[in-house]
């Protein structure tokens, strides 16, 4: 056996362990299924106005990082549009939400400082904090008493991190009260608005803007891969923060910039966000929640956002249900531990304005049938 074959065998053993524990992931192509899985809440990714191809005017690629040859007036104008839309002083675009959070959290704190994050915070933020020399504390999900306790234990600069809408449970953080605690303990607050962007607020500005907390929040992450239906993300905050990230965020410095047409698509999407049919989306959410009340034997999560879910409490049960629904024509993905805590494995159901009442009824009927 060669060295490469030996190492392949080692990797296969690890994969076999995942299979045995119900943790194995595989890629699925499901364009012919009814979508109850994507984060494309308004169907923007399907919109012709956001698919316009401008490469003949601006070129196909950025040719380098923003700090070398990849910067442009187009990129900077797009950042100004984003900052103005969300009521921030400035914004800096990253190639993805993951890169934005890793870049921000890996460089914003130093040894002796303390991150305090909700226990359900996104993996990208966890990875960013791990790359920092700062200490890390976790508080119980949306538990203000535990947050205050951890604030009292923190040293150095105190940095609190939450999501405004949590990606797995779809529930909302008590942002106003969290902001008050941060003021009391002289901590800065960073909010990931990934799943609130486009959905909450009069124009889709997010919950920080909706609750008039812009001045109380140090930085927000706005991603383009959810309701905006594209790719990339921006961190919004002060001009000083923007300049600091340009100089210190490694995931910004050492990567090729987004291609020009992506900036144009982002601009198109931000123009469309105020007209997005949020009323219809929340009507579908209300219908779904009401309809699940009649299915007494199943445990649906309590969420007022587009993210809904059914707790199976077991990886194998979650995968089996997803496979059953796939055969019935529905694309819904299982969420397995350790992505969610053991015992809370689930089917994550995302609602969109392009879904219909009839499709929701058919989905719930098939879920019910699976458990009969």
Q: What are the catalytic residues?
A: 39, 122, 163, 167, 192, 195, 226
Q: CA 287 from chain center: how many Å?
A: 24
230 neighbors 76 (Cβ within 8 angstroms):
no
Q: How far apart are the first and last CA of the chain?
A: 50
CA 196 to chain centre: 9
Please choose, from the candidates 221, 207, 247, the residue with its C-alpha nearest in 3D space to the C-alpha of residue 94.
221
Could you give the dihedral angle defined by the CA atoms of residues 125, 126, 130 and 133, in that order, rounded to the nearest 10 degrees? 60
Q: Quote the CA–CA distance of 200 and 207 in Å, as a whole number.
A: 6
Q: Characterize the bridge pairing of strands 219-223 and 330-331.
A: unpaired
Query: How many Cβ atoms sit within 10 Å of the Cβ of residue 3?
Result: 7
CA distance 206 to 227: 11
Residue 327 phi, psi (nearest 5)? -65, -25
**What are the DSSP calls for 67-119, one per residue?**
IIII--HHHHHHHHHHHHHHT-SEEEEESSHHHHHHHHHHHS--TT-EEEEET
């Amino acid at each position: 056996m060669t060295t490469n074959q030996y190492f392949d065998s080692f990797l296969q053993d690890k994969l076999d362990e995942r299979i045995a524990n119900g943790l194995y992931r595989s890629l699925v192509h499901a364009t012919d299924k009814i979508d109850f899985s994507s984060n494309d809440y308004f169907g923007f990714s399907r919109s012709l106005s956001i698919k316009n191809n401008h490469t003949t005017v601006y070129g196909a690629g950025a040719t380098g990082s923003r700090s070398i040859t990849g910067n442009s007036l187009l990129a900077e104008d797009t950042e100004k549009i984003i900052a103005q839309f969300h009521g921030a002083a400035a914004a800096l675009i990253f190639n993805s939400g993951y890169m934005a959070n890793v870049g921000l959290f890996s460089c914003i704190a130093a040894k002796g400082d303390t991150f305090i994050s909700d226990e359900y915070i996104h993996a990208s933020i966890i990875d960013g904090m791990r790359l920092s020399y700062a200490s890390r504390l976790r508080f119980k999900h949306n538990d203000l008493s535990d947050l205050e306790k951890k604030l009292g234990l923190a040293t150095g600069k105190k940095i609190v991190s939450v999501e405004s809408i949590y990606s797995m449970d779809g529930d909302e953080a008590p942002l106003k009260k969290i902001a008050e605690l941060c003021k009391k303990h002289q901590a800065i607050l960073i909010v990931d608005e990934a799943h609130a962007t486009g959905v909450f607020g009069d124009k889709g500005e997010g919950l920080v803007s909706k609750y008039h907390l812009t001045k109380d929040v140090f930085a927000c992450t706005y991603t383009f891969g959810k309701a905006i239906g594209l790719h990339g993300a921006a961190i919004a905050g002060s001009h000083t923060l923007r300049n600091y990230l340009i100089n210190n965020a490694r995931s910004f410095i050492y990567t090729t910039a987004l291609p020009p047409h992506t900036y144009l698509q982002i601009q198109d999407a931000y123009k469309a966000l105020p007209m997005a049919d949020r009323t219809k989306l929340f009507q579908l959410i209300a219908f779904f929640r009401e309809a699940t009340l009649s299915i007494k034997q199943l445990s649906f999560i309590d969420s007022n956002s587009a993210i809904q879910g059914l707790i199976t409490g077991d990886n194998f049960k979650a995968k089996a249900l997803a496979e059953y629904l796939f055969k019935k024509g529905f694309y819904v993905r299982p969420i397995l531990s350790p992505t969610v805590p053991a015992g809370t494995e689930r089917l994550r159901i995302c609602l969109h304005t392009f879904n219909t009442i009839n499709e929701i009824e058919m989905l719930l009927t098939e879920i019910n049938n699976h458990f009969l």
